[in-house]
Amino acid sequence: METSYIYNFLKVVDCGSMSEAARQLHLSPAAIAQQMRVLEGEMGCALLVRQGRNVRPNGAGQRLYEKGQRLLVSLHELRDHVVSEEDAGVLRLGSVNTALHGFLPDMLRR
């Protein structure tokens, strides 16, 4: 399951419109609609009530919205934990003078 689809679902619910969510996410409305269909397929039920150009979550969508917010917070915390600086250390690098003033600064920047 794509976690970005859950994020986009939350945005759709917040905006009340797939078109507005698409604008804010810099995606096409068709891409958002496809993602919502995939998400509904993965969940095995409808999540949104479509009313013209507006959408709102049904009961299942409301439950996904509530748990989805907590899931995304947990995912961000997990990402922060994984890339924390616990593994950081001191790098000692020896170099000849020509490398030190030549190509080494560019390599370290990359």
Provide the pLDDT for residue 87. Answer: 64
The pTM assigned to this predicted structure is 0.72
The predicted pLDDT at position 70 comes to 95
Q: What is the reported pLDDT for 84?
A: 75
Got the DSSP string for 48-105?
Answer: EEEETTEEEE-HHHHHHHHHHHHHHHHHHHHHHHHTSGGG---------HHHHHTTHH
For residue 55, the model assigns a pLDDT of 95
Cα dist from 98 to 94, 106, 110, whole Å: 12, 13, 19
Q: Which residues of the chain have pLDDT under 50?
A: none
Residue range of the domain that includes 39: 3-85
Instruction: Indicate which CATH number applies to the domain containing 24.
Output: 1.10.10.10
Q: What per-residue confidence (pLDDT) applies to 91?
A: 74
25 falls within a domain: yes
Q: How many CA atoms lie within 13 A of 62 on its CB side?
A: 4
Q: What is the pLDDT of residue 86?
A: 67
In a domain, 44, yes or no: yes
Total number of domains constituting the chain: 1
